[in-house]
Amino acid sequence: MQQSLRDLDRAYENFFKKRAGYPRFKSKHNHTQSYRTNNNGNSIRIVDKKIKLPKVGFVKINQSRTFEGRILNATVSHTASGKYFISLCVEMDKEKLLHPNAGGKIGIDVGLKEFYSDSNGNTIANPRVLKKLSKKLAREQRKLSRKMPKSKNRKKARIRVAKVYEHIANIRKDFLHKLSTQLVRENQTIAVEHLNVNGMIKDHRLAKSISDVSWSEFFRQLEYKAELYGGELLKVDTFYPSSQICSSCGYKNTKTKDLGVREWTCPKCGVHHNRDINAAKNILYKSLEDKQLF
Ligand SMILES: [Zn+2]
């Protein structure tokens, strides 16, 4: 209650200072519902395998990871499939969070067909979670649509749909987190292209696969994780023609503008290129060059 009032206060302040639109009511339908509560004194604490929450008391938990430090607040959420989660905001010693990285340098070219290609010559495939599970999702949604409004069976069917959605989201999150952690562990410098993902999603043909592979979330993870591993995420300007330049000699081959050209041989130096790996190399070189200039 207190936190909601504080949030409302801030929402109005943001609105009057023209930083945001007029506050809207929080929806109570069909998605994750949540509330946040502050730790006053010791009102939120973990004892054995239970957590104490204000007004709620002790509840049994499955703690996903341990931590040292003061709990600032807790967000309790309830997913559409009926699971409860508690996220704790914890104040920690930054030193304890920092780890060394292995000192590598890597350029990354994200793609639609593959998740990305890197400057070391590796290509990482998409998990294609939506494709695999979308049939199941469609089936459950069809069943849901045939149920009587407000019936018990409709409620059950809605939970089944929500479960498939959550499964898809969990596979995607797991994929992104594993990849981003591995990259920041191995590299001091990670170079990516600065993407206008919002602009791209407006193109509906690309929308489904782009939101499926979720690059912006991937870059966000790389950015905060690189900081924890003492590395850096560099972003190269979108207008840099990374797929047209020969990464060996610098020759600009405009014939590769066509997205269909997957492989090409440089007419100047004769090196044979894989389109995406060559682009990833250029993204790395360009980012290092830009860094020297500034
Ligand atoms: Zn060349």
113 & 222 share domain: yes
Class of residue 67 by CB neighbours under 10 A (exposed 0-12, middle 13-18, buried 19+): middle
Q: Write out the residues surrounding ion ligand 1, Cβ under 5 A.
A: 246, 248-249, 251, 266, 268-269
133 & 73 share domain: no
262 & 131 share domain: yes
65 & 159 share domain: no
Low-confidence stretches of the chain (pLDDT beneath 70): 29-30, 128, 130, 196-213, 294
55 & 159 share domain: no
- Sheet containing strand 104-110, strands side by side: 123-124, 116-118, 104-110, 187-193, 232-236
87 & 150 share domain: no
77 & 151 share domain: no
Decide which of 74, 97, 120 is a domain's last residue: 97
67 & 152 share domain: no
Which structural domain, as residue segments, surrounds residue 275? 104-293
147 & 281 share domain: yes
111 & 131 share domain: yes
Closest CA to 137 of 171, 168, 116: 168
Provide the domain count of the chain.
2
Rg (CA), the chain: 24
Q: Known catalytic residue: 193? A: yes
CA of 250 to the centre of ligand 1 (A): 6
The pTM assigned to this predicted structure is: 0.81
CA of 108 to the centre of ligand 1 (A): 20
Closest CA to 140 of 161, 163, 167: 161
Decide which of 63, 97, 131 is a domain's last residue: 97
Instruction: Render pLDDT for 143-194 as a digit per residue (tens, 0 to 9).
Output: 999 999 999 999 999 999 999 989 988 888 999 999 999 999 999 999 999 8
Decide which of 72, 97, 122 is a domain's last residue: 97
Residue 275, pLDDT score: 94
In angstroms, the CA 81 to CA 85 distance is 12
232 & 283 share domain: yes
In angstroms, the CA 271 to CA 256 distance is 14
- Three-class SS of residue 101? coil
63 & 13 share domain: yes
